[in-house]
Structure 1
């Protein structure tokens, strides 16, 4: 590996051990076996490197969000699919030393790390596409802006709330079954409408 990859791996290890605020540039250099100049050359700043390291850690969890065997049992847009996806996501929050605790650090200290906060805010918007595709079906690249601004924000708000509750008090944090039942009751109160009619498949031009 080159210095760029070494720095990223070293920064990931530092984040898991120390978090954002306590990780210094010298910590990353020591962990990665590189030098201080490499951080600026490859990433621009320590905070930009830490932000990319966090995104890389979360991306490693992506496979855990997917259905075992590649296919969910529930139809796109159904309550069953909703429950399946959130069961997988919450499973990553149950794991000891979950990386999601780092999200809470950003929420509470974001004003002290604006470069990290801004980078992760952009990454969150893109991650919303993945959530929509998983829950509603279709391809990420076909998701229109209005869905990103509505469904995407709904799902990322749910995700942020879950991360907060699982970080603060895992014993009382909601399960996927409770979330699904809560959504079912909301829909029943709204007249029993479905979550959304799945989009028809897009035929490539």
Structure 2
């Protein structure tokens, strides 16, 4: 590995151990075996490096949402079976990778202290929305248009964020995927009865 990759891996370890606010550039250098100048050269700033490390952690985590391997997802795209399985995988990640999800709330609650990180993560938010759509509905990320990204992607991201808060706050009372799916089924039925 080169310095760029070493820095990224070191930053990930620091984030998981210390979080955004408490991680210093010197911590990353120590953890990665590189030097301070490498951070500026490869990433521009410590905040930019930490943001990229966080996005990478979340992206790797998201790869497990589809049945942990890409070919294990049951149910047809858009079906309630697919919906339930994907959300079961997502909720499992809240307990198995709690430290990664806690970083999200650190950014939200410290956004005034992490302006560079926040800006980068706002940009990455659309990538997350875009990735959820084919996971649940099928198709390819590259085919997701802007309207679908804003509406369907926004809907799925709202579910993700809400579930994350519930599972991190109190897993015992958090909504399981089966209840979320039953709730969706009932909403669909009620909408069908009213004609719209």
Task: Check conservation: 1:104, 1:163, Cα contact below 8 A.
Answer: no
Divergent runs of 4+, >6 A: none
Task: Check conservation: 2:98, 2:168, Cα contact below 8 A.
Answer: no
Q: Which residue does the alignment assign to 1:158? A: 159
Q: How far does the alpha carbon of each residue in 1:130-151 deviate from its partner, in whole angstroms, 9 at most, with x for none?
A: 1000101111101111100100
Range with greater deviation from structure 2 (19-28 or 63-72) = 63-72
Range with greater deviation from structure 2 (180-189 or 91-100) = 91-100
Q: How far does the alpha carbon of each residue in 1:79-134 deviate from its partner, in whole angstroms, 9 at most, with x for none?
A: 11110110111111121644111111111111211111111111110111110001
Q: Distance in 2 between matches of 1:102 and 1:49?
A: 14
Q: Which residue does the alignment assign to 1:50? A: 50
Q: Which residue does the alignment assign to 1:36? A: 36
Q: Which residue does the alignment assign to 1:139? A: 140
Distance 1:2 1:139, change over 3 A: same
Specify every segment of 5 or more residues in structure 1 that has no aligned partner in the other structure, as ranges.
194-205
Task: Check conservation: 1:101, 1:163, Cα contact below 8 A.
Answer: no
Q: Which residue does the alignment assign to 1:170? A: 171
Once the two structures are TM-superposed, the CA of residue 71 in structure 1 deviates from its matched residue by 4.3
1:25 matched to 2:17: no
Q: Distance in 2 between matches of 1:58 and 1:166?
A: 16
Once the two structures are TM-superposed, the CA of residue 8 in structure 1 deviates from its matched residue by 0.3
How large is the RMSD of aligned CA atoms in angstroms? 1.5
Q: Which residue does the alignment assign to 1:59? A: 59
TM-score, with structure 2 as normaliser:
0.93
Task: Check conservation: 1:77, 1:135, Cα contact below 8 A.
Answer: yes
**Count of residues in correspondence between the two structures:** 193
Range with greater deviation from structure 2 (57-66 or 28-37) = 57-66
